[in-house]
A and B are shown apart, each in its own frame.
Chain A
């Protein structure tokens, strides 16, 4: 798989009528968890994590493990970085802070929305939110910084002489 393929798989999702989206086959761990990419454009990514009993962290309640939310938010933040117009070819998480606001409701799909609000030469900054239906009632929020590799910028005309 080339870098372009990875870029495609991180960004070219689609919102299906039934609210599913593309399984993230280019990222084995995300695919194994059942994460789906719904959209990724203009530095904003939307992903879904359907409820799965394999991801439960507390058997008594059936609540998903906090780590599953962490993995979803990390992936969604990465997709948002790829989805900017900055020509990002690859990303690696530098740091990630998660605040857990309330437990996910057992049986319900978790959505994640990430916004990449700044891409510098080698670092991108992202914020993200995980929720069920109402973004104003977040399950968790995230703030992350990514190291990025960008396409070399085209030389300016005066540099070509």
Chain B
């Protein structure tokens, strides 16, 4: 089974990822997450702007999926993965979100950078943007608990 198949299967198996409509694309070991715009992501109808909570959840999910993807890649180097293989989804310990620009009613992208992955804890920085990669709308940094 290819890594992308595995990731797609994992993503569609999680109801909250489906609820937000998030999709993933993997190139090598780098994951780009996409949250296509839909009206029920709106938090402020006056601007209008995407809900800070939706952007926050998107950043968090991007981080979790990057870690799960890395786990799967590592497992694949150690041997053939069974068809029902599913990487453990880490748990967030703490996350800080910085909101840099209001999220416009359009598609949002995110990428996670693993600063350090230890035995128990991984530290991540995650960035979200819309039309321009250099114009970030929000960033997050946080610690995630690995394993069960």
CB distance from A71 to the nearest CB of B (A): 3
A58, B40: Cβ atoms closer than 8 Å: no
Residues of chain A within 8 A of B60, CB atoms compared? 65-67, 70
B99, A64: Cβ atoms under 8 Å? Answer: no
Task: Please pick, from B39, B53, B92, B98, the residue contacting A71 in the complex, using a CB distance under 8 A.
Answer: B53
Q: Which residue of B lies closest to A31 (CB)?
A: B40
On whether A100 and B51 interact (CB within 8 A), knowing A6-B44, A92-B99, the answer reads: no
Q: Which of A26, A67, A70, A71 has the most CB of B within 10 A?
A: A67
Interface: A68 (CB within 8 A): yes
- Interface extent on A, as a size class? 35 or more
User: CB distance B45 to A72 under 8 Å?
Assistant: no
Complex Cα spacing A9 to B48, Å = 16
User: How far in angstroms is the closest Cβ of chain A from B143?
Assistant: 10
Residue contact B53 to A72, C-beta cutoff 8 Å: yes
Inter-chain contacts of B98 with A (CB < 8 A): 94-95
Q: Please report the C-alpha to C-alpha distance between residue A1 and residue B45 in the assembled complex, in whole angstroms.
A: 8
Q: By the criterion CB–CB under 8 Å, are B16 and A54 in contact?
A: yes
A55 to B57, CA, bound (A): 11
Number of A-B contacts (CB under 8 A): 132
Task: Please determine whether A27 and B99 come into contact, CB atoms closer than 8 angstroms.
Answer: no
B16 & A64 in contact (Cβ 8 Å cutoff): yes
Q: Does B102 contact A (CB under 8 A)?
A: yes
Asked, given contacts A1-B46, A65-B61, whether A96 binds B19 with beta carbons under 8 Å apart, the answer is no
Residues facing A in B80-110 (CB within 8 A) are 89, 91-99, 102
A1 CB to nearest B CB, Å: 6
Which chain A residues have a beta carbon within 8 Å of chain B's beta carbons?
A: 1, 3, 6, 26-32, 53-59, 64-68, 70-75, 78, 90, 92-100, 103
12 more A-B contacts (CB under 8 A) besides A58-B14, A70-B56?
A1-B45, A6-B46, A54-B18, A55-B19, A58-B89, A65-B17, A65-B61, A67-B61, A74-B52, A96-B97, A97-B95, A98-B96
10 smallest CB-CB distances across A and B, nearest first, come from A67-B57, A71-B53, A65-B16, A29-B51, A32-B40, A93-B52, A74-B53, A97-B96, A28-B42, A70-B56
